[in-house]
Amino acid sequence: MTGRQLVTDAQNTWCPGCGNFTIQHTLKTVLSDLESQGKSLDDVVLVSGIGCHAKIADYVNINSFYAIHGRAIPVATGIKLADKGLTVICCVGDGDAYAEGLDHLIFAAKRNIDITVLVHNNRVYGLTTGQYTPTSPLGFAGRSTPAGTLEYPINPLELMLASGATYVARCYTKKMDQLKQVIRGGIDHHGFACIDILQICATFFPMTDYYNVHTYELPVYDRTDLSVACEKAREWDYNQKNPIGLGVFYQRSFPTFDDRMALQPLQKADRELVIEEFLKSRQ
């Protein structure tokens, strides 16, 4: 059987050395693997937002939808609710998901909608030439903050854990094998998967040397333990000295929003089951 040609004719305009190339290549590899294992790629939809990352929708030959800034996640949610049989992958940027679209991200995690979100977190607005984003470190000197930011970066993983996401992970574009495994894990996970990907912006925030020193692979622990996952997530680099863990921080099964939608109106027994599962997942 010949696999689908995933390369498109679109001219690639990413800068040389951009981490988006890695994410694109890895996603294509994961899709090819899925297809060779029997999945029809006609049942996969890629949704992207606005930003450098979003061009991935032009470069991967599957069904795709360009949403407006910050609104990729509600579009992905709508697609999943319209057809539960689809595998919905949502590529967003850090400005896209952690600023403009933050409320949508939190509500998707809270609902546990069965989609996979890949956050291309380069910690800078690259498309608009280098302004700070919610994850830029304190003191980041960009086009809008030439003297350096006065704000600490938000911690996306801690936020996702607190919001109810059931698959929470961080990867780094220089660690491709792990990136591939974690993206595949997120797609296979039945529930809301948020994968924060430290993506190198070669032009406006080249962090390769920094991440090569500060990142480490998470040790073995019980991935259903929310307390340990939170503890590991809190190692985020607020002071630019902490280690930055890579891998799956947390994974737990919990009834998805799309499953509950199919059951509605929830009967008393269904409600009690959902409440019981929720309380277990918060332990």
**Residue nearer to ligand SF4 on the CB measure, 19 or 247:** 19
Helix, strand or coil for residue 200?
Answer: coil
Smallest gap, in angstroms, from Cβ of residue 98 to ligand SF4? Answer: 15
Alpha-carbon distance 57 to 80, whole Å? Answer: 18
Smallest gap, in angstroms, from Cβ of residue 51 to ligand SF4? Answer: 8
Alpha-carbon distance 108 to 165, whole Å? Answer: 8
Alpha-carbon distance 241 to 48, whole Å? Answer: 33
Smallest gap, in angstroms, from Cβ of residue 65 to ligand SF4? Answer: 21
The binding site for ligand SF4 (CB under 6 A) comprises 14-15, 18, 20, 52, 122, 126-127, 201-204
**Residue nearer to ligand SF4 on the CB measure, 18 or 117:** 18
Long-range contacts of 102-109 (CB under 8 A, 24+ apart): 102/70, 102/134, 104/70, 104/71, 104/73, 104/74, 104/77, 105/73, 105/160, 105/163, 105/194, 106/159, 106/163, 108/73, 108/74, 108/76, 108/77, 108/192, 109/160, 109/163, 109/164, 109/165, 109/192, 109/194
Alpha-carbon distance 192 to 88, whole Å? Answer: 11
Smallest gap, in angstroms, from Cβ of residue 109 to ligand SF4? Answer: 25
Alpha-carbon distance 96 to 98, whole Å? Answer: 6
> For residue 82, what are its two tokens?
């319209």
**Residue nearer to ligand SF4 on the CB measure, 126 or 164:** 126
**Residue nearer to ligand SF4 on the CB measure, 18 or 226:** 18
**Residue nearer to ligand SF4 on the CB measure, 52 or 182:** 52
Smallest gap, in angstroms, from Cβ of residue 17 to ligand SF4? Answer: 7
End-to-end CA distance of the chain: give it in Å, rounded: 47
Alpha-carbon distance 139 to 147, whole Å? Answer: 8
Smallest gap, in angstroms, from Cβ of residue 218 to ligand SF4? Answer: 26
**Residue nearer to ligand SF4 on the CB measure, 89 or 201:** 201
> For residue 133, what are its two tokens?
């984003």
**112 with 251: CB under 8 angstroms?**
no
**Residue nearer to ligand SF4 on the CB measure, 18 or 109:** 18
Smallest gap, in angstroms, from Cβ of residue 143 to ligand SF4? Answer: 12
> For residue 102, what are its two tokens?
């933050």
